[in-house]
Homo-oligomer: A and B are copies of this chain.
């Protein structure tokens, strides 16, 4: 299986960590986003959304969307389980994961798109008011997450799941490239972050 990747991009990083947890080997193909290789006709035939990552199976089938790729990998290699083993757990892990995606990752994305690095690329006209709103939403969510992580060791409860992968990747990206590092006072976030970052799948990434 080939994974169309771009080093440093948060979404393929999610898939690489997920695959490493399951000890699934992926052949990495670099798609140079600075050269807009993800917008070529050849690449758009693999993913009409023009985004990485894309997983290409040996028969040529292409699955895009990081989480959809993770669902495929969970189905072919169920252990260790990262998405839930019974109906309630499947629902609750997905719920926590979606709250990270929609209330944190999506807002970090708005701040990124309207921030200085993307502006310098000249692809999108930044909207300062949109960034101001998303920055505030990210910081409010960090506050909530810190409170929640005081009551449980992992994002979705008692064990490591996809929700932790998305959360750590989002926070690392927000810290490194979007100027949205969680406040040092959020001790529960940082204790959780230290613990998950020590996992071989994440430390090696």
Contact = CB atoms under 8 A, between A and B. Distances in A.
A103 B49 contact: yes
A103 B127 CA distance: 19
B129 A65 contact: no
A98 B65 contact: yes
A63, A68, A91: most-surrounded residue (chain B CB, <10 A)? A91
Interface string A94-134: 11001100010010000000000000000001010110010
A76, A92, A148: most-surrounded residue (chain B CB, <10 A)? A92
Interface in A65-83: 65, 67-69, 71-72, 75-76
A57 interface: yes
B63 A92 contact: yes
A29 interface: no
Contact of A63 (B55, B68, B95): B95
Interface residues of A, number: 34
Contacts of A86: 75
Given A94-B67, A98-B67, A99-B65, A75 B57 contact: no
Interface string A123-149: 001010110010000000000100010
Contacts of A63: 88, 91-92, 95
Contacts of A71: 90-91, 94
B65 A90 contact: no
8 contacts: A48-B148, A61-B88, A63-B91, A64-B95, A72-B88, A125-B129, A127-B130, A127-B133
